[in-house]
Amino acid sequence: MAPWNVNDQRIPQGRLVLFSYVSAALVVLLLVGFWKLQVVQSEHYSDLADKNGIRPIAIIAPRGPMLDREGRVLVDSYPSFSIMLLRDNPKLLEKSLPQIEEGLGIAKEDLEQQLEAAKFEPKFLPVVVKPAASEADIAFVESHRADLPVLELIMVQRRRYPLGEMLANTIGYVGEISPSELEKNPDRYRPGDIVGKAGLEKEYNDQIVGTDGMRRVVVNSVGKVIRTLDNVEAIPGKPIQLTIDEDLQRVAEADFANKAGGLVAMNARTGEVLAMVSRPTFDPNDFAVRIPPQEWAALNSDPNTPLLNRAIQAQLAPGSVFKVVMATAMLESKAIPATFTAYCPGSAVFYGRVFHCDHAHGQVDLHKGIVASCDVYFYNVGQRLGIDRISYYASGLGLGQKTGIDLPGEQSGLVPSEEWSERVNHHKWYPGSTISVAIGQGAVTATPIQLARMITAVANGGTLIPPHLLKDATGLKPGSFPLSDDTVQQLTDGMWGVVNEPDGTTSQTVKLQNVDFAGKTGTAQIESFDLQNKLGKHLKENGWFIGFAPRRNPEIVVAALVQGAGWGSSVAPIVRDVVKAYYDKKNGHFVQPSTAENLPPSVGAQPSAAPSGTQQP
């Protein structure tokens, strides 16, 4: 090869010029590329830039509190902090995990599980790792802002139920909105919104839910807030006042202790519900943060159905309480003379089958039939009336249909009739079945609130009061099923006798001084053999007591059901206590039961006693 440094002066001018042109052309091409982004698609990218740097942050509005009739707080909300984990920087996230686990006391597996669950969500959506942060947690996040930028605090509003388990089934609980609810109200709610899921929380959700505010902040690429652009404050939800009287509620709850069952106490003139109990129950505070799936499954599959509001949802045989309907039908229809008597030798045979009575009552008239609750007397009445006449009066008194109380999920119970038999059972009504229905067994079922309303109607001449829980309820119309004064007098005198006469089924144990207290017991067989076996033979029956005062045009009515109680007479003291508390309050000498009474019986003595819900001496 020749030496390189000879003076070679041939310069390829043509190719150099070509190079210049190509360079110019490439610059033009680049400028076209910039033009496309900066001029043609400028708006699109401006939008994206805004979305990038401007982050809307919802300011959660607190739900309105629920107050009792005297303004005491039954439910309220409080601000609390949730700790979120930002996931948009996976490397940083991974590096920070051990420190987070330690600092916040979260198990490694739990954290990993949560991140795994959110794997397919967009990375810019953070994961809530600690829904209810303690002060120590918040301090941890604040002090590690620099080295743990993946942690973020958001303020949320939580529900607080100071009464705990008391009134829980009535109040209900809140939870994250379900996809189907969201679909129905896409303008109103966003995913993750907290809404009422059951009870009053659900019924009055629209009234107590607030309007969330919105703050728009400028954030940098690691999500740190640089400044606030604008701020629309949240509008807190409005409070609602309930008809509930916390004092009466506490008295009733204390009496129930560990018994299973339900109770409803109402103002018998307005239908205002003063107390409502359902046991066993749950603590809605458990739902206020986030209920773990296992716990939710346990509540749902619990055979004791803690989520059932027994006061409005337990459809059970009313037992002897139904004799009030029978007596009304007998007197109003005049199909049987009011002076009808029957002889009770302790049992009777109808249609070739023996039907028992718990005593041999001897010669029984209507008054004694009610007071001593003689089955044989009402077997005879039932046989003479026939199922359709019974059905007519039962329906007229509001059985077999919802009372329309302002709670979701109310059950209607069942009043059988010939038509019903053919429609549902596809066979003619067996007249023998009427004999069972006559004492509130067989196909007939009712809820505590229906029985409270039915008895009230009998005592006030046929006005079916509209039960309700909202103090300012408007547009409520009582139903009407007029009864003659004579009917009212005979029945209320009979029910006064149940409480006050020597042969009354309560054996005069629940008499109240200076209170014209009347009522009716009921004892009904539990139809489910499973439940019967579980509860034991000696507890095989449900006890009812529906009490009211005064005897004519009553102002208070209390219906109580104790499942597996044995006899209705053992339920009566609960009702008496509530009625007594009502009058004590009215007369100004009410004394709050000590808090000790609210606690379950001493655990120290016999830890291996009967399972909760059935423990009853």
Partner 1 sequence: MKERAGIQDIDWTLLGIVGAISAIGILEIYSSTHASAMAGMQWKQLMWIGIGLVGMAVVSRIDYHTLLDQAPALYLFGVLGLLVVLVIGYSRLGAKRWISIGGIANLQVSEIMKLIIIIVLARYFAEVRTDRLSLKDLFKIGVLILIPVALILKQPDLGTAMVLVPVAVVGAFFAGIEWKHLLVGAVLIALLIPLAWNMRRHLKPYQQQRIETFLHPEQDQRGAGYQILQSEIAVGSGGFWGKGFSKGSQNQLGFVPVRYSDFILAALAEEQGFIGVCVVLLLYLGLILRLVDNAQKAKDRAGMYVVMGVTAILGFHVLVNASMVIGYMPVTGIPLPLMSYGGSATAFVFLALGLVMSVRMRRFVN
Binding residues for partner 1 (CB under 8 A): 1-13, 15-16, 19-20, 23-24, 26-27, 30-31, 33-39, 41-42, 44-46, 48-50, 52-53, 88-90, 123-124, 218-222, 226
What is the maximal distance between C-alpha atoms in the chain? 147
What's the min distance (Å) between Cβ of 156 and partner 1? 26
378 vs 3: CA distance, rounded Å: 134
What's the min distance (Å) between Cβ of 99 and partner 1? 22
- Tokens for 571? 């339920």
Query: Is-contact 322 382, C-beta < 8 A?
Result: no
500 vs 522: CA distance, rounded Å: 16
What's the min distance (Å) between Cβ of 3 and partner 1? 8
Which residues neighbour 222 within 8 Å (Cβ) at sequence distance 6 or greater?
A: 89, 149
What's the min distance (Å) between Cβ of 470 and partner 1? 49
DSSP state of 235: B
**DSSP string across 357-377:** -SS--EEE-HHHHHHTT-HHH
Residues forming beta bridges with residue 520, ordered by sequence position: 546
What's the min distance (Å) between Cβ of 20 and partner 1? 5
Q: For partner 1, give the closer residue by CB, 222 or 235.
A: 222
Residue that has been written with the tokens 């009777």 in this structure: 348
600 vs 329: CA distance, rounded Å: 43
Residues forming beta bridges with residue 548, ordered by sequence position: 518, 557
Residues forming beta bridges with residue 348, ordered by sequence position: 355
Which residues neighbour 515 within 8 Å (Cβ) at sequence distance 6 or greater?
A: 549, 550, 579, 580, 583
What's the min distance (Å) between Cβ of 145 and partner 1? 15
375 vs 101: CA distance, rounded Å: 68
The secondary structure of 48-107, three-state, reads: HHHHHHEEEEEECCCCCCEECCCCCEEEEEEEEEEEEECCCCHHHHHHHHHHHHHHHCCC
Alpha helices in 144-210 (DSSP H): 168-171, 179-184, 199-203, 205-208
Q: For partner 1, give the closer residue by CB, 2 or 591.
A: 2
What's the min distance (Å) between Cβ of 146 and partner 1? 11
What's the min distance (Å) between Cβ of 407 and partner 1? 47
Q: How many CA atoms lie within 13 A of 598 on its CB side?
A: 14
What's the min distance (Å) between Cβ of 192 and partner 1? 21
Residue that has been written with the tokens 């005979």 in this structure: 490
- Tokens for 24? 């110019």
What's the min distance (Å) between Cβ of 313 and partner 1? 49
Query: Is-contact 203 192, C-beta < 8 A?
Result: no
Q: For partner 1, give the closer residue by CB, 88 or 212.
A: 88
345 vs 359: CA distance, rounded Å: 8
What's the min distance (Å) between Cβ of 45 and partner 1? 3
Q: For partner 1, give the closer residue by CB, 12 or 607.
A: 12
Tell me the CA distances in angstroms from 289 to 77, 160, 558, one per residue in order.
12, 10, 34
